[in-house]
Structure 1
Amino acid sequence: MKLLQKMLVAFALLGTCLTTHAEKADQDKPIILEAEKVSVNDVQQVYELDGEVLLIKGSILITGAKGNIKVDPEGYEYVDVQGNPESTASFRQRREGPANEFMQGRGKTVTYNAKTELLTLTGDANLKRLHNMQMLDQLHGWKIDYDDVQQRYQVSPPANAKAEDLPLARAILSPRRKATLEK
């Protein structure tokens, strides 16, 4: 179990090396929703989506089989999208800073909190940082939390994981150039 704890700490520390942030312009963009079925409760600001879900907000693109979106009184969205047995849910967002840099992830469930800028991918989760469509960093595990504000990753095993099944997390992290870190 100590090995797992060391790995989680290492992933969290390595994730702090990123210097780019999500596009701030995304916060002011309208949400575009597409699905086979959309249910809107405008009073409570709750949206239920079912079938071929597509959510677009600025550079953020989330897909899945069904989803739920709640908007708080300040206008921040809380998104929860699930995949189905045939396909996973996905997340993609352009990064602010270097041109053509994206965060892209998949999992059985994608959860995004626009207020805290916390992305959680659960269930055979995979998260990549891409530059010009080339992978720079890649994480894989049962659950991946990505905190965009703090620039930290955390990869966690399932709660019921057995010691003999560990480690269940993997990271491939590209070296950072000094010029990139100073931007």
Structure 2
Amino acid sequence: MNRLPLLVFALCMLMLSSIAHAEKADQDKPIILEAEKVSVNDVQQIYDLKGQVLLIKGTIVVTGEDGHIQVDPEGYELVDVKGSSDTTASFRQRREGPADEFMQGRGSQVTYNAKTEVLTITGDASLKRSLNMQMLDQLQGWKIEYDDIKERYRVTPPVNAKPEDLPLARAILSPRRKATLEK
């Protein structure tokens, strides 16, 4: 009987720790590529895509106009997709956990390193974290980096930014405790 509170605590901690990370099942899913032109180098594991790029891997969806994917010897992808003058590049991924939590972003360029689980969005970048269609976090800036393992955001201005251009970065962040408890 005295083990029950310990078991409940352990289960709650397990649930909370899995909520915070990207969908782990994505690692084992095949890559689906669509574009107007696709060039495949199977020996070097390099894929180049031109025109209306759509990449799907599990819950990850990346779109843009020009894409480059390289797979390392361990099987991890480095995805680099650029938008055009008319469209932006975009990224969306479901996060691990019991509820519908998503990270989604847009910018001139989207880079995702599946090995390090770091997402970088540049050029009028925006990134949102939502839970059950409710926005929790929202970031805007020239460059946004999101480290999913460490759960860290970084918004940086362009190199040639001037003080009169401020604010160059903006973040709206929900309290973690409240967001976690409302699930």
* TM-score range for the pair, normalised by the shorter chain length: 0.7 to 0.9
Alignment partners' CA distance in 2, 1:148 and 1:179: 17
* Pairs aligned (count): 164
Q: Which runs of 5+ in 1 are unaligned?
A: 1-18
- Using structure 2 for the length normalisation, give the TM-score: 0.86
Q: Deviations over 1:53-106 (max 9, x none)?
A: 000000000000010000011100000000001110000000001411100000
Alignment partners' CA distance in 1, 2:179 and 2:132: 18
In structure 1, the partner of 2:51 is: 51
Question: Is the 8 Å Cα contact of residues 20 and 98 (structure 1) preserved in structure 2?
Answer: no
What SS does the corresponding residue of 2:25 show, helix, strand or coil? helix
Tell me the CA shift for residue 125 of structure 1: 0.2
Tell me the CA shift for residue 136 of structure 1: 1.1
Tell me the CA shift for residue 132 of structure 1: 1.4
What SS does the corresponding residue of 2:75 show, helix, strand or coil? coil
- Using structure 1 for the length normalisation, give the TM-score: 0.86
What SS does the corresponding residue of 2:167 show, helix, strand or coil? coil
The aligned amino acid for 1:93 is Q
Question: Whose RCO is larger (CA < 8 A, sep 6+)?
Answer: 1
The aligned amino acid for 1:123 is G
Question: Is the 8 Å Cα contact of residues 136 and 179 (structure 2) preserved in structure 1?
Answer: no
The aligned amino acid for 1:128 is K
Change in Cα spacing, 1:81 to 1:180, as seen in structure 2 (3 Å) is same
Report matched runs for 1:17-166 at 5 Å: 20-166=20-166
The aligned amino acid for 1:121 is I
Same amino acid, percent of matched pairs? 78
* CA root-mean-square deviation: 1.4
TM superposition outliers: structure 1 runs of 4+ over 6 Å: none
Change in Cα spacing, 1:71 to 1:152, as seen in structure 2 (3 Å) is same
In structure 2, the partner of 1:168 is: 168
Question: Is the 8 Å Cα contact of residues 39 and 47 (structure 2) preserved in structure 1?
Answer: yes
What SS does the corresponding residue of 1:177 show, helix, strand or coil? helix
Change in Cα spacing, 1:47 to 1:166, as seen in structure 2 (3 Å) is same
Change in Cα spacing, 1:132 to 1:179, as seen in structure 2 (3 Å) is closer
In structure 2, the partner of 1:8 is: none
In structure 2, the partner of 1:5 is: none
The aligned amino acid for 1:170 is R
Alignment partners' CA distance in 2, 1:42 and 1:142: 35
